Structure formats: C-alpha cells, structure tokens
C-alpha cells in the first residue's frame, strides 16, 4: 500500500513497524549514513524527508538538518540498504547523495560563544574583526548587549577551539555555548570521589557509552560536564553509568548551578557591586579630606601638619587611599585598555585609564614635589581619579542591572519547562508497571511520561494514551485549549487542562520547540540592524578623536594661560593655570561615551524582540525590524493565511440511488489512505465520521490497488467496486461522463470559493462533495485597517481564478494573482520591489518559502515544533492576521526608539564635550570637574538602556481594540 505526499505529489510505501524491534531483540548492529539533500527549503520539506525515510523497514532514527541540507540516518543493514534510503528521499521529491558520515564533511556549522569583558562597540568590533580574519570563518557577529558571538565556520578548516582562542587573544574571556552540532551539555555533581583512580574509572565508564563526546571534570566542586548526542544517549544513562561504577560508591545528581545566562548575569552584577563598595570605602576618605574636613578649623589644623617639608598629613592620606582605588580596584580598566591597544583599537577603558592616570600621576608629582621642597605649593587631584573610578563602577553596575532586564523575555520562556516529570516504567510487553518522579532534565528520547490535569508537559512528544485539552497559549499564542488524543503532538511547556495523557517523548534538549523558540529570540537579539552600521562606523574613530580633543583642550588652555590670554582671576585660588588646563582636558576625556552609542540599537532590538515574543510575534532580528517599519505593500497567500486552512464539507449531492452513509463509506475508504497529509481527504473522512455517527477511529473498508494521481485525486478498489475520488479533470481523463446537474454544481461552487470533489462508482459519477476553506473571521477587518495605513494589498494563490476572486471579494482585496506556482509568487514580489515597494509576504511557510525569502519581510502564519527553521523573518505564532498589524506597529515603535537613542547618545556627546572643554567658562565660570564628568558619562549609558526599556510598556494599536469579528469585540 502507498501514501500520497502533499508536498511533492509522490508515493510512499506504508511503514514497517516491527523490523526495528526485531533488530533490537536480535542484537543487530546498526549503521549510520549521512545524505546531502538538495531542494529542502522549509520545515514541511524536512517533515516529508523524515517521514519518507521512517516508513522504510529497519530505520532506527532520521535526523533532518534543513539549514545544512543534510540528513543523518541510523539504520539496520539487514533490513534496508543505503541505496533504498536514497531512493526513498528522491521519491519524496528531493535530490539525495550519500556522503561520508564523518562530521568533517559538513560545509558549515554555527558556533555560539559567550564573551565576558566587553564594554563598548570598539570591543565587539575588534572581536568581530579577529574572528572574520580567520581562514574558514564564513560570517561572525558579536552582540554587545547579549555578550555573545555567533560564528558560521567551516569545520574542515577550523574547530571551535580555534574560535575560542581568537576571542581570548583579543583579551576577552570566552565560554563555549554550542558548536552547532546535535550535541547537548549536562553538568552533574558526583559524591564519593576519593582519588584520581575514581575519576579515571568514571571517565572510562562514560567514554564507553555511545554518543558521549567530551568529559570535563572539576575536582574542586566535584562537578563533571558531559557533552553528548541526545539521539544516542541521555542523562539518565549517564547517571546510571556513573553510579554503577566502583561497586555503587558514587552518587550523581544534576548540578544545582546550571551556569546559565541568568546566573552569569547575576555574577557580573555582584562583581560590579562589590568593586563599587570597595571603591566607595576608599574614596569617601579622599573626598572628605579634600572637600569637607579642610573647612572644619580643628580638623584642618591636623590635616595641615607637615610630615616632610611641604608634605602634610591630608595629602599623604589622600595618596594612600587613592592608590588602591587606582591600581587594585581600577585594574580592570588597565587590563581592558592594554588588550585593546595591543590589537590596535581603542575603547572606553583607554579613555578611563588615560583620564584617571593623568589625574593620579599629576597628584603623585605634587606629593613628590611637596616632600622634597620647602616652598612648593600645589593642588592634588586624588579625589578626581578615585571618585571618577567609583562613579564609573556605579554606572557599570546600574547598566548591567538594566541590561539584565532587557533579556527577561528569554528567562520567562525558559521558566515554562516544569522542574519534574512523571516517568512511566514499562515491562518487556509494553505494560505500565510503575512510575517515578524525575528531574525534567533527565528525560530522554522515547521515554513515556505521564501528564496529569493542571501539570505542564515536560517535553515534546505525541500522545499514546488518553484524551484531554492542552493550553498552548504560552508557546503558540493560541488562546483556546487544543484538543489532544492518541497520535496528536504536544509541546513541552504547555499546560494540560483535563484528562490524563501518556506522552512518548520525541524531542529533548536543543531539538525541542521551546529551545528553538528561545534560540530564535536569542539569535534575533544578536542580529544587527543595518542602522547599527552607523554606530559601528563612528566607534572606530570615536576614541582616537576624543583623545585628540582632550589633548587639544589641555594644550589650548595651558597655552592661553602661559600667554596670559585670560585674566588670572579666572584661575581658582586652589590651582594654577596648568592644573586648570589639566582638569579641562581630563573632563573632556572622561565625559565622552562610546558606550551609549553602542547600546542604542542592540538594547532596543533586545527589548523589542522580547516584547514581540510575549505578543506571539517572533521577529528575527534588527534587519527584520528595520525592513518591517518601511513596509508599504503586503502580499497575502490564500490557503491557511486568509482562509482558515482547515477545509470542511459544506454540500453533498448524490446522483445514484444509495444512502448517504454508503456513499461516504466508499469515499472515505478511498481517501483515508491520504491521511494525515491531505487536507481535503481529512475533511471528507471527518465528515463521513459524523454521517456514520462514529467520532472515534472508524474501521473503513479495505482499499485495494490504491493509486494517488498527483493534482487530480485517488482511485482504489473498495468492496469489489472501482472508486475514483477527484476533480473534474480526473473524471474526463478516465472518460467518465459528468452530468449537467454536476456541471451546474461545479460552476456554482467555484463562484462561492468552494472546491468540488467528484466521486465515481464503476465508471459512473455517484455524487459530488463541495469542500470550503472559509475566510478567517478577522481577514476583512485586518485588510481594511491595512488599507487605512496606506499599505497596498495583493493576494497571490495557486488556486483557480474563480475561487481566488471570490475570496478576494470577501476580504476586500482588489488585486489578485491566481494559479501561481511558488516560483511565480517570488517573481511577482521581485516585480513589486523593482517598482519601488518594500514588500512583506504573508504565507503559511510551507509552499510559500521562495516568496518568503524573496520578500523584504517574510511573515509566516502559524507556529510549531519547526518554527526556528522557517524561511520567514517574522513568525506570527497565534496564526491571527491582526498580528501583522502588531508586527508592523512594534517595528515602527522599536525603530523610533532606536532613532531616539541615537539622538540622545549623539546629542549628549555633542553637548557635553564642549561644556567639559570649558566653552561656558569665560562667560559663566562654570566648569565640569572630572569626577562629575565621569558620573555624567556613566549616566548616559544608563539613560539609553532605560530608554530602550520603555518599550516594555508597548500596547497593541488602538485600531485593534475596536476590532469586531462576527459581532464579538476582540480585546
């Protein structure tokens, strides 16, 4: 028996379920083969390839990688050969070629690295340049806001270790997140380790397991970090291997600190707070002795007591307290400046180091002159250097604190996974013999878990027992609970409403839907908007320009003082002309802030994409945001986008003397073989169940000699009668006469945007079934709102002109293009772009992939477990058309915030630098002391982050608040 593929129109054999179990019992040795598969463009293609392979006998697992155009198959050679697998892939409509199974044949991989120590765009730019200069790196992008690097590289030339070394050579700490392979990492705490022999025994046991990649042991914390392939082994297997080593003297549990992003963020917050506290503790005495206590008569006499020559107690105390701040607490600025200068770049650390050193070493010069001279009188700047460092550390602490809030969307998504799960224990015959509570991180592929009412689903899988409704709003945005029964997929993190479900786990770790959504949001937050190139370009010259301006300011004021170009009354009594010039120069150096400029775009993108995720709109980065706010033309697909995408039978007309029940018995028997891929077949079978009054799995009559004819229909022998179910062309091709009554129904149905299926028995039309895919309730109102926004609307569909025009009229769309192939849709979009439009394509992400890629902004309607590999730039998870308006509006708001951030950051520097240089001093005697300039510099970065955080208050457009669908107001 064969099945019809909706994606490509080819035939698949029915699955052979027993071969894998037989192979396992016989202890057959499995093999692995990797195919290069060309032609895959989306998640539907991946599903087609996976199903085609798994229907063969002897297939243990099939992993399809759309991004790298690869498929890895684990199989038993005694049941199936490599050539047969290749043929199955090609039968599904794709070009396949077996390649070496070594992972080194992969032409590209994506490595994620967490980077610590970056302070501004100069840092991220220098790391990006270092990575891109490596031979074998295709693309590298470094995100300052997320502190991560995403590197696309050729594993034939480089390893992830080379990438880590390149980052470390630039002077920053690099922590590997992932290498781009199907590898999962787990951290375990082991009790019972006594010596090196214990460690060696554990390592030997783990290395013996299939799928274990690397093992790192940290003896100081008894922590072991294991990377493994989740489709070959799992965390419980690893723990069992450890605990069975050494006569059971070891005990392994999940390490309590998962070392995640939030933990590292908190560690960074604590580190800056600790530095600030110590800096403040030493700075307060310096501040008091220089600016407060000297005005108290009794205390002033003590501070003025001479120690050696003109060196008094107050000056000595300030020197002693300022030195630890400068060299111990402020060490990080020296290290950062050295690493930046070593690579030929300059960052914020360079400015801070130069400014504080100028103040400190001039003060040290004052101390030395005072100690060796009986007549020297000079003012020190110890309070400038120490207070400057303290305020900058306070600013960094507040900045990290604020930046942590920009990534709360990811933390909320990660919290959806329950901490524990109920694992069902089965005997050899498959009967449940017990259950136990386990940590959800210990779930492995093919486990069966029990989900009780009110509990969260712990991992992706399909229902093998039970019936319930599941609330998927937190993942897909679907407000109504979705009915689940045997065979239906469930997503990890969703909530079981009622009824007990037994779920067989199919995806864990990095393969899960939740992880892919999180990864998509993280990747979006790393992506740079084109507008950020402006900031990156400025940052290259910013610090050198500031240094030149600072030196020019100092020299100008110093020269003016020497030449008596201004009155002596301008010079404060506590300093001379040199010291006044030095203060102006230091103020210019420390008030200029490249950080605010560097944070303007990424923080807004982080918050905007995070807010979008909570609204059910996944925006894949700054490029999508920038393009979306320019959209002035939207191209809609019809089926599944403007229409519901779930056809239902609306009319049945019989032309033979037979009961409706018998008619549908024959029709459903033929169409049942197309399930679950074909939507029309599904509609007919579901309607047949209602006619026969059987809502469960009805046993249809056997369909022999089943044949599916691509684009036409199916035929089979049912109860010794030749059944044909298909369109008009199929009937005419088989010389079956169509009565005038049937022709009238065909014409009428087409005008009503309905699809007509003819059913023939033994060469004679027995009846007609009209199937309708109704317009979505919100479609007309959404199109009206988009028209009011001056956006051109076009509908492009592969359906016939009659159906297309009918749907367009109902939706209020004036421009229609029908009978279009996927390539034709893409061509139409390119024509619109050539006419000057910024085009958004809205489709279901399956047959519309070429058009989604061709558009300036691709919007995919619908979400699921394959969400991360859709071709679209924006994914509308709720499948609601009104979310198109939210996506465009959110893009507008985010981009306006980016512009405001740039105005703030640039305006701050353009205004603050002249004031710091003393432009107001001649007329007002107003000057900025360096420590106030440092505080202002820190405040500028915080203000930009806080400005971006205001996006968290985003509200959906008021136009949508008044949207009414079928008389129901949508809030």
Collapsed DSSP state (helix, strand, coil) of residue 889: helix
Q: Which residues contact 903 (CB under 8 A, 6 or more apart)?
A: none
How many CB atoms are closer than 10 A to CB 566? 15
Contact between 98 and 84 (Cβ < 8 Å): no
694 a catalytic residue: no
Q: Which residues contact 283 (CB under 8 A, 6 or more apart)?
A: 321, 322, 325, 383, 386, 387, 389, 390
Strand order in the sheet with 617-619: 617-619, 874-876, 857-861, 839-843, 633-636, 792-796, 815-817
Name the CA dihedral angle for 571, 573, 578, 580, rounded to a multiple of 10 degrees: -60
Helices 779-788 & 801-811, crossing angle to 10 degrees? 70
Q: Which residues contact 776 (CB under 8 A, 6 or more apart)?
A: 642, 643, 644, 881
Q: Which residues contact 270 (CB under 8 A, 6 or more apart)?
A: none
How far is 215 from 194, CA to CA, in rounded Å?
A: 18
Largest separation between any pair of C-alpha atoms in the chain: 126
Residue closest to 101 by CA, chosen among 85, 87, 78: 85
How far is 144 from 115, CA to CA, in rounded Å?
A: 9
CA angle 445, 451, 455 (to 5 degrees): 120
Helices 882-916 & 930-949, crossing angle to 10 degrees? 170
How far is 617 from 889, CA to CA, in rounded Å?
A: 11
CA angle 283, 289, 294 (to 5 degrees): 155
Structure tokens at 438: 């386990």
Answer whether the bond into residue 198 is a cis peptide, omega within 30°: no
Q: Which residues contact 853 (CB under 8 A, 6 or more apart)?
A: 41, 826, 871
Q: Which residues contact 662 (CB under 8 A, 6 or more apart)?
A: none
Place of tokens 């600016």: 291
Catalytic residue (one of 349, 637, 773, 873): 637
**Long-range residue pairs from 817-820, CB within 8 A, at least 24 positions apart, any chain:** 820/796
How far is 682 from 667, CA to CA, in rounded Å?
A: 11
Q: Please give the C-alpha separations between residue 577 and each of 375, 559, 589, in angstroms, as whole numbers.
A: 18, 9, 19
Structure tokens at 736: 């079956």
Residues annotated catalytic, as ranges: 637
């Amino acid at each position: 028996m064969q099945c019809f593929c909706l994606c490509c129109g080819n035939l698949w054999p029915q699955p052979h379920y027993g071969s894998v179990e037989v192979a396992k019992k016989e202890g057959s040795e499995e093999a692995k083969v990797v195919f290069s598969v060309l032609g895959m463009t989306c998640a539907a293609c991946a599903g087609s390839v996976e199903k085609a392979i798994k229907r063969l006998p002897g297939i243990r697992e099939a992993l399809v990688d759309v991004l790298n155009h690869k498929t890895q198959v684990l199989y038993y050679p005694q049941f199936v050969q490599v050539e047969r697998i290749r043929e199955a892939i090609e039968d599904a409509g794709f070009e396949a070629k077996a390649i070496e199974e070594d992972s080194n044949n992969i032409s590209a991989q994506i490595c994620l690295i967490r980077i610590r120590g970056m302070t501004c765009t100069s840092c991220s730019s220098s790391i990006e340049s270092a990575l891109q200069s490596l031979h074998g790196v295709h693309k590298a992008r470094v995100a300052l806001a997320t502190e991560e690097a995403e590197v696309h590289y050729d594993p034939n030339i480089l390893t992830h270790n080379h990438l880590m070394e390149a980052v470390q050579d630039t002077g920053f700490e690099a922590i590997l997140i992932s290498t781009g392979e199907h590898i999962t990492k787990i951290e375990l705490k082991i009790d019972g380790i006594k010596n090196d022999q214990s460690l060696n025994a554990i390592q030997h046991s783990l290395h013996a397991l299939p799928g274990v990649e690397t093992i790192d042991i940290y003896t100081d914390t008894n922590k072991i970090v294991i990377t493994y392939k989740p489709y070959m082994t799992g965390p419980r297997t690893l723990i069992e291997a450890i605990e069975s080593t050494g006569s059971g003297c070891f005990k392994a549990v999940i390490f309590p600190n998962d070392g995640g992003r939030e933990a590292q963020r908190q560690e960074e917050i604590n580190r800056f707070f600790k530095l600030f506290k110590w800096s403040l503790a030493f700075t307060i005495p310096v501040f008091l002795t220089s600016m407060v206590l000297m005005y108290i008569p009794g205390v002033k006499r003590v501070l003025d007591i001479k120690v050696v020559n003109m060196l008094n107690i107050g000056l000595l105390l300030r020197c002693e307290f300022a030195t630890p701040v400068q060299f111990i607490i402020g060490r990080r600025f020296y290290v950062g400046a050295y690493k930046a200068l070593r690579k030929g770049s300059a960052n914020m650390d360079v400015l801070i180091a130069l400014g504080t050193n100028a103040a400190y070493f001039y003060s040290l010069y004052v101390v030395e002159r005072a100690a060796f001279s009986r007549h020297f009188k000079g003012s020190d700047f110890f309070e400038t250097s120490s207070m400057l460092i303290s305020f900058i550390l306070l600013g960094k602490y507040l900045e990290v604190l604020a930046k942590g809030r920009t990534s709360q969307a990811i933390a909320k998504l990660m919290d959806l996974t329950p901490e524990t799960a109920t694992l069902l224990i089965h005997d050899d015959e498959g009967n449940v013999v017990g259950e136990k509570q386990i940590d959800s991180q210990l779930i492995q592929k093919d486990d069966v878990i029990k989900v009780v009412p009110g509990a969260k689903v712990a991992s992706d899988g399909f229902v093998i027992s039970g019936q319930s409704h599941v609330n998927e709003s937190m993942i897909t945005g679907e407000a109504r609970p979705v009915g689940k029964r045997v065979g239906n997929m469930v997503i990890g993190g969703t909530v079981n409403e009622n009824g007990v479900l037994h779920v067989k786990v199919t995806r864990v770790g990095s393969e899960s839907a939740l992880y892919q959504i999180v990864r998509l949001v993280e990747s979006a937050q790393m992506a740079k908007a084109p507008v950020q190139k402006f900031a990156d370009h400025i940052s290259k010259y910013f610090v050198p320009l500031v240094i030149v301006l600072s030196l020019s300011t100092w020299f100008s004021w110093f020269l003016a003082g020497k030449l008596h170009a201004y009155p002596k009354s301008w010079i404060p009594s506590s300093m001379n002309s040199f010291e006044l010039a030095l203060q102006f120069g230091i103020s210019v150096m420390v008030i200029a802030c490249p950080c605010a400029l560097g944070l303007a775009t990424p923080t807004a993108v982080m918050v905007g994409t995070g807010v979008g995720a909570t609204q059910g709109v996944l925006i894949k980065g700054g490029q999508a945001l920038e393009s979306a706010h320019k959209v002035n033309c939207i191209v809609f697909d019809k089926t599944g986008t403007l229409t519901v995408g779930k056809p239902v039978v609306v009319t049945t007309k019989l032309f033979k003397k037979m009961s409706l029940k018998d008619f549908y018995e024959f029709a459903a028997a033929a169409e049942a073989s197309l399930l679950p891929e074909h939507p029309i077949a599904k509609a007919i079978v579901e309607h047949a169940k209602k006619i026969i009054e059987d809502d469960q799995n009805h046993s249809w009559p056997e369909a022999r000699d089943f044949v599916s004819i691509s684009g036409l229909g199916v035929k089979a022998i049912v109860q010794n009668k030749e059944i044909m179910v298909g369109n008009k062309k199929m009937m005419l091709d088989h010389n079956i006469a169509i009565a005038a009554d049937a022709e009238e129904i065909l014409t009428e149905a087409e005008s009503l945007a309905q699809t007509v299926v003819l059913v023939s028995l033994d060469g004679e039309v027995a009846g007609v079934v009209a199937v309708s895919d109704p317009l979505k309730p919100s479609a007309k109102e959404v199109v009206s709102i988009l028209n009011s926004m001056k956006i051109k609307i076009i509908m492009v569909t592969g359906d016939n002109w009659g159906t297309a025009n009918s749907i367009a009229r109902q939706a209020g769309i004036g421009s229609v293009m029908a009978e279009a192939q996927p390539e034709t849709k893409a061509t139409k979009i390119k024509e619109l772009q050539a006419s000057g439009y910024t085009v958004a394509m809205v489709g279901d992400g399956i047959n519309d992939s070429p058009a989604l890629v061709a558009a300036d902004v691709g919007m995919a309607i619908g979400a699921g477990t394959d969400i991360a590999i859709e071709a679209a730039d924006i994914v509308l998870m709720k499948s609601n058309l009104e979310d198109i308006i939210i996506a465009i509006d959110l893009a507008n708001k985010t981009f306006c915030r980016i512009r405001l951030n740039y105005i703030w950051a640039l305006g701050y520097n353009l205004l603050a630098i002249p004031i710091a240089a003393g432009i107001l001093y001649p007329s007002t005697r107003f000057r900025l002391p360096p420590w106030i300039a440092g505080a202002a510099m820190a405040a500028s970065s915080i203000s930009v982050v806080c400005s971006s955080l205001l996006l968290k208050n985003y509200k959906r457009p008021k136009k949508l608040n008044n949207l009414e669908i079928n008389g129901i107001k949508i809030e």
